[in-house]
A = this chain, B = another copy of it.
């Protein structure tokens, strides 16, 4: 940490800051500038908050110089982490495609869609049983019934299952049905939930909150890692900005930024990242071109009658075209689908 003293800071104020640093168990290192004195804090700065120094008299600003995450950092784990699920490796040369309906609505809907995504080349089946909805009046998911349908589809199509878990109490239940637990964007900083999935031995797909920085996403991953679960995948799914032409702004920059900061696999969700089905395929191509390790795509056999997210769901034939196009881009960046 670096502490910048005010223009007119006195000798005594500087000394009191140094004492405060030493009381906390760190060493201080002074640097006398032309207009200001700067004090370096020597030691592991992660547990301390820079803001607390700004309360001492004579201090202008305190700034972190290390990232606050450790287990998620590439500095401490230089090689890519590979998450293995039923023989599929995520985070390696192969691009992994997860696809399926936003919500599980019925056996017919799920089986039709699962058959279609399997045939088009998807590796993993997605589908929501417990659904976070902005309106209490909207369809909230089939719950346990949905999980059972997912298990059925899993057996029939030999596809691992990814599904969302929304509360700590449900983690054990969902983990009995799912191959990957998904933490939704609105729960990225639900610490009780992060703690709970950190103690389970199932891979976790952690979606970036629509209001969260890349650093906060990595801190949320750090919670899961710190509780003992090392099989964490990150998901860029669009952030909220002033732009209203799309539902979210897909932050394509975050893909290479994450790949340089962390060893964890990075999955792209162009369905939520755009909110419009016509944009899903070009943004899926872009995500792979930028270096993503996989895709998660909403597909519905009849989007106009979907109970949720119909507007961003692809029809099976469009999904098949997406896989074809993504395959070509993957080859261009020396990867496979």
A residues contacting B by CB (< 8 A) are 2, 4, 7, 20, 29, 31-36, 38, 40, 42-44, 46-47, 49, 51-52, 54-56, 60-61, 63, 65-66, 68, 75, 132-138, 166-170, 186-187, 189-193, 209-216, 219, 222-223, 226-227, 239-246, 249-257, 260, 273-279, 282-283, 285-291, 303-306, 308-312, 325, 328-329, 331-333
* Cross-chain contact of A289 among B226, B250, B289 (Cβ < 8 A): B289
| Cβ 8 A contact of A46, one of B135, B254, B305 | B135
Task: Report the bound CA distance from A98 to B190 in whole Å.
Answer: 25
A289→B285 CA distance, assembly (Å): 6
B38 near A34: Cβ-Cβ < 8 Å: no
Asked whether A133 and B191 contact (CB < 8 A) given A31-B29, A55-B311, A240-B211, the answer is yes
Q: Is the CB of A169 within 8 A of B168?
A: yes
6 interchain pairs, CB-CB under 8 A: A51-B311, A210-B211, A215-B245, A249-B251, A252-B283, A253-B279
Shortest Cβ distance from A287 into B: residue: B286
Kindly list chain B residues whose C-beta atoms are within 8 Å of the C-beta of A310: 49, 51-52, 55
A32 to B41, CA, bound (A): 10
A223 to chain B, nearest CB (A): 5
- Apart from A51-B309, A135-B219, A168-B168, 19 more pairs, CB < 8 Å: A31-B42, A33-B65, A34-B43, A52-B305, A52-B311, A134-B189, A134-B219, A136-B227, A241-B242, A243-B254, A244-B244, A250-B252, A253-B283, A256-B279, A282-B289, A282-B290, A285-B333, A288-B289, A331-B332
- Nearest 3 pairs of A and B residues by beta carbon: A211-B211, A51-B311, A167-B192
Number of copies: 4
Q: Is there an interface contact between A256 and B278, defined as CB atoms closer than 8 Å?
A: yes
How far is it, in angstroms, between the C-alpha of A43 and the C-alpha of B213 when the chains are bound?
33
Q: Contact between B7 and A75 (Cβ–Cβ < 8 Å)?
A: yes
Beta-carbon nearest neighbor of A308 in chain B: B49
A216 partner, pick from B134, B291, B304, beta carbons under 8 A: B134
Asked if A35 contacts B249 (CB within 8 A), the reply is no
Contacts of A290 in B (CB 8 A): 282-283, 285-286
**A303: shortest Cβ distance to chain B, in Å?**
5
Contact B213 A244 (CB under 8 A): yes
Partner of A167, one of B138, B168, B210, B246: B168
Which one, B33, B170, B257, B311, contacts A245 given CB within 8 A?
B257
Q: Which residues does chain B contribute within 8 Å of A167, judged by CB atoms?
A: 167-168, 190, 192-193
Interface centre among A46, A226, A252, A331 (most CB of B within 10 A): A252
Q: Which residues from B are CB-within-8-Å of A192?
A: 166-167, 169-170
Chain B residues near A285 (CB, 8 Å)? Answer: 289-290, 332-333
Enumerate chain B residues within 8 angstroms of A190, measured Cβ to Cβ. Answer: 166-167, 186-187, 190
Q: Is there an interface contact between B55 and A304, defined as CB atoms closer than 8 Å?
A: yes
Q: Is B187 a contact of A35 with CB atoms below 8 Å?
A: no
> A40 contacts B33, CB within 8 Å?
yes
In the bound complex, residues from chain B placing their C-beta under 8 Å from that of A329 are: 289, 329, 332-333
Closest to A61 in B: B65
**Docked-complex contact A166 and B191, CB < 8 angstroms:** yes
A245 to B241, CA, bound (A): 15
